[in-house]
Amino acid sequence: GKKFVGDLGGDGTITWQETGQVFHSPSAWATHCKRLVNPAKKSGCGWASVRYKGQKLDQYKAAWLRQHQPNVPPPEEGLASEGEEEEMPEEEEEEAAGEGRVPAPEPAAPKKPEERSKKQQCKSLAEPAGTDLGTPGKRLDIKPRVPVRYCTLGTRDSARNPQTLVEVTSFAAINKFQPFNVAISSNVLLLLDFHSHLTRSEVVGYLGGRWDTNTQLLTVLRAFPCRTRLGDAEAAGAVEEEPIPLPTGPYYHGNPGVESKIAPFWVMPPPEQRPNDYGIPMEVEVTYLQDGFLTNDVVQEMTLLVEFYKGAPDLVKFQELWSQDQTYLDKLKGSLATHSPKEQSFTHVLEQIYSLLK
């Protein structure tokens, strides 16, 4: 077996003794070492495969959680523990030596967005709710779908309804840290919200951006709405073939609803020793970045969406009343205002878009 030795710094970095190369997190260090040993093998989390003074870092992390988050409930039965999910053979473990303190918790490395094809999307979703289907002056009471708890699912079952909703689980509830960071721009949120408000039907689209291995940060910079019906298999194939200028990873899926709400989550793979289990939907914390101005690509996508839905039976009638004193157009304007860029001159551009909806 191969053993790698590095120095653990006080700031959480690891310096490889052999080359002097500095890694910004246990995950970056572990991923690099595993690629040297077996490039074809799937990389796990660095916390469970790096040892400090003979003890795995995930044990230090668990102790830190118990000390700083004493009220966090124990992990639910059926959810993978860090050791179960990321356990590595002894010969492939990496060791961080030195007298530095145990680093602050760092996220682990997900797959790079560019490594995922459009047909096999990342399990990270942003679900903006669209407009309701109400009649003028009256909002529709949408029958809620009751989600089930993950621990009740058991192993994969072809008889289970594939549309079953599953409650998301927080990382704190299973004594884990979110294994990566996510930032999303206000322009992306604005386009997602606009797409969801246009129609009474479900909407989907791709998200594109960049992945930083050192900081474990996924930055979502663009949204690419799918201008097709979910049931149109022929058109869906054509959409998948459209070129996209950025690596795609996550996607978004919007359902008609009363409120505009974006709820990002990531489906964590089941542990390797239980491959027939369902993935675990984990709530993802996101940093929102305000753009300086409304970019031309967003305006173009908004215009194309209006053209696609124009005349369709499920297009929202924006002049009708959403509530007693507010039209659907008023509701749309108010929702998009929460994603506005810093430069306020964008309002006249949006007014041109709004004029197309009248």
Ranked by mean pLDDT, which of 65-79, 226-240, 299-313 comes out on top?
299-313
Name the percent of the chain lying above pLDDT 70.
67
- What's the confidence (pLDDT) of residue 29? 75
pLDDT band at 311 (very low <50, low <70, confident <90, very high): confident
Alpha-carbon gap, residue 216 to 235, rounded angstroms: 35
- What's the confidence (pLDDT) of residue 18? 78
pLDDT at 241 over 60: no
Q: Which neighbouring-strand residues pair with 288?
A: 184
Crossing angle, helix 346-356 and helix 296-309, to 10 degrees?
10
Closest CA to 193 of 257, 113, 118: 257
pLDDT at 39 over 80: no
For residues 22 and 15, the answer to whether their CB atoms sit within 8 Å is: yes
- What's the confidence (pLDDT) of residue 42? 58
For residues 173 and 150, the answer to whether their CB atoms sit within 8 Å is: no
Position with higher pLDDT, 104 vs 265: 265
Degrees, nearest 5: CA angle 332-336-339: 165
**Alpha carbon of 24 to those of 83, 100, 104, 257, 291: distances in Å?**
22, 14, 11, 42, 27
- 180, with CB counted inside 10 A (0-12, 13-18, 19+), is buried
Q: What is the mean pLDDT of residues 303-311?
A: 93
The bridge status of strand 4-8 relative to strand 14-16 is antiparallel
Q: What does the pLDDT look like over 325-342, one tens digit per residue?
A: 899 999 999 999 999 999
- What's the confidence (pLDDT) of residue 257? 67
Position with higher pLDDT, 1 vs 27: 27
pLDDT at 284 over 80: yes
pLDDT at 131 over 90: no
- What's the confidence (pLDDT) of residue 111? 41
Position with higher pLDDT, 268 vs 141: 268
- What's the confidence (pLDDT) of residue 90? 38
Q: What is the mean pLDDT of residues 166-172?
A: 92
pLDDT at 243 over 70: no
Position with higher pLDDT, 262 vs 199: 199
The bridge status of strand 14-16 relative to strand 124-126 is unpaired
- What's the confidence (pLDDT) of residue 318? 92
- What's the confidence (pLDDT) of residue 239? 56
pLDDT at 135 over 50: no
- What's the confidence (pLDDT) of residue 12? 74
- What's the confidence (pLDDT) of residue 328? 92
Closest CA to 82 of 155, 182, 177: 177
Global pTM?
0.60
Q: What does the pLDDT look like over 177-223, one tens digit per residue?
A: 999 999 999 999 999 999 999 999 889 998 999 999 999 999 999 99
Closest CA to 137 of 309, 286, 2, 325: 325
